[in-house]
A and B are shown apart, each in its own frame.
Chain A
């Protein structure tokens, strides 16, 4: 069964460093998302992406964040200058349809900023 994959599974970085989290969405899906879950808290929406552009973003997704689909399979989240409070589990998701489509999540990347 097709699934969303994410790499790395765990990333440790120092404050102020740039990180790139990678995702391979399900191949026939057209809508891509990033969410995060700070330890012990709710899953929060960051950004959605369709047709090579951001369709929505939350207040969390400030200028330090960017997304890109560099080729036909990968979808990346970049954090330019990490802060301690960026430590969280980051989930990529994809859906075949936009409105009212099931969103399938990857296993997540645990980002630890020291």
Chain B
């Protein structure tokens, strides 16, 4: 598998429920960033978690990072219809400069 693979590929939930998306990667990283993309639009930066951090919060978002398992999760609590989008993790690999390597994304649909 490739660096930065999200799981599941698609997720459909009801408004008010929590959504959890997972990301796995293969190499050592400096940080991992999560982005949101509405259909055909730009990438919106959500949160960055550094390799020495285990958990980070921003509003309704909670991100965890387990470097021993090379995985991260993004939790969106109390989801809203406006959260409907694709969510991508992107890794900044150790000793690979500043380039980000993106996963394939999770398509989240929140039904009103």
Contact = CB atoms under 8 A, between A and B. Distances in A.
Interface of A: 31, 33, 35, 42-45, 48, 55-56, 58, 89, 91, 93, 95, 98-108, 110
A105 B45 contact: yes
A93 B42 CA distance: 10
A91 B104 CA distance: 16
B92 to A, nearest CB: 6
B42 A108 contact: yes
A48 B98 contact: yes
Contact of B100 (A45, A89, A98, A110): A45
Nearest to B2: A42
B41 A108 contact: yes
Interface size class of B (residues with CB under 8 A): 20 to 34
A42 B45 contact: no
A44 B42 contact: no
Interface in B72-102: 88, 90, 92, 97-102
A108 B45 CA distance: 14
B42 A91 contact: yes
B78 to A, nearest CB: 24
Nearest to A97: B98
Contacts of A99: 30, 92, 98
B24 to A, nearest CB: 14
Contacts of A106: 42
Contacts of A56: 97-99
Contacts of B100: 33, 35, 43, 45, 103
A34 B83 CA distance: 26
A28 to B, nearest CB: 16
Which of B31, B102, B104 is most buried by chain A, counting CB atoms within 10 A of its CB? B102
B33 interface: yes
Interface in B28-53: 30-31, 33, 35, 40-45, 48, 50
22 contacts: A33-B100, A35-B102, A42-B102, A42-B105, A43-B43, A43-B100, A45-B99, A45-B101, A48-B98, A48-B99, A91-B42, A98-B98, A99-B92, A99-B98, A100-B31, A102-B48, A103-B33, A103-B98, A105-B45, A107-B42, A108-B42, A110-B40
